[in-house]
Amino acid sequence: MKKTIRDLNNLKGKRVLLRCDFNVPLDNYGDILDDTRIAAEIPTIKYLVGQGAKVILCSHLGRPKSSYDKYLSLFPVAVYLMKVFPNKVKFSRTPAGKEAENEVAKMKEGEILLLENVRFLEGEERNNPKVVQELCRLADIFVNDAFGVCHRQHASTYGVAIKLPNAIGFLVEKELSVFENAFKTPKHPFVAIFGGAKVDDKINLINNVMDKADTIIIGGGMAYTFLQAQGKKVGRSIVSLDKVDDAQRILQTAKEKGIKILLPVDHVALLGTKVVKTKSLDGNMIGFDIGNASIKLFTKEILNARQVMWNGPVGKYEDSRFKKGTMKIAKAVAKADAYSIVGGGDSVSAIKVSGFADRIGHLSTGGGASLKLMEGKSLPAVDIIDNK
């Protein structure tokens, strides 16, 4: 078991560098479009503030290509936090260096300082020792609560943890617990739903779930590789030719183990510029969503589940012509008398668009990190945290 912030003693007056994941979508005016990741961090911040710590928040935002990009500044997040913690929050215009050190030196117990985008530091993503040293100078203790980047060995997630006394926050603790319980003691029937455009990212995931799930539902662009593996017509739909053999092996293994794999039985496709509904993807048809028969087939299975895990939309849901399948699956997952886990950025976005987010057991805040856990892999930035 990893140390959590509950295991840290005598935090009063201590400088705590809290790595958060405030990588939130902003519009062109700097307004936050989705505050989920910020809201999820509030309990950890409140705890540290309540312990009298000097709380130094560190996060990335986007992928800046220079040492400063006004469109990727964390200042809008500072404004958000100022409303949650009146008169306690300040903003450092730099993520490290003399200016940030001066701001930290002025902090009082229970105050919060949000550092500017840590990816403005050259070498942050390469775990540069100079960046690690600069960040370490700001703090006495490091807490990682940025689940979304726990699969990254960056200076602010990994390098600092090596140098400072450390722990994980409430958010990372919850995420780890949810995925551990889902795989070690799953509730049956366990239905796993996989979608998204590329099958390449999901092969390991499906293999890991194989011994745990009762039913695996495959939709989205990745389904066409499996349909081709079955010898079905896929038209000009996206197919990963180098993964067809893997798909055939998965289908065969599932058959031998008595695991049900459900693939689309009809489609919403494009033929030129015309949207067509079809059971067979002939000629130049390109599949972009599951059809009504597939929705009915998948929904029936989901509603009988006691545990559901969903990663990846089952169609190109961001296009209104092809969103029905994903929205119907979201509704089924929400309605099921089951513990539901939704992981992956697109899946979480889809469930929010559907309006059923409040009926999901756990919405994961980490795309790549949740994918790694679903694959049965460990997270480097968690591994490096001290054990209790």
List active site positions.
Answer: 37, 198, 345, 368
Q: For residue 334, what are the contacts with CB-CB under 8 A and spacing of at least 6?
A: 340, 351, 354, 356, 359, 360
242 burial (CB, 10 Å; 0-12 / 13-18 / 19+) is exposed
The whole-angstrom separation of Cα 270 and Cα 85 is 50
Query: What tokens were used for 294?
Result: 């597939």
Pair 287, 239: CB distance under 8 Å:
no
Pair 32, 25: CB distance under 8 Å:
yes
Task: List the one residue out of 114, 150, 94 whose CA is nearest residue 17.
Answer: 114
3-state SS record for 341-352: EECCHHHHHHHH
The whole-angstrom separation of Cα 317 and Cα 314 is 8
Task: List the one residue out of 184, 218, 187, 213 whose CA is nearest residue 202.
Answer: 218
The whole-angstrom separation of Cα 301 and Cα 259 is 13
Residue corresponding to tokens 């795989």? 183
The whole-angstrom separation of Cα 296 and Cα 293 is 5
The whole-angstrom separation of Cα 214 and Cα 191 is 6
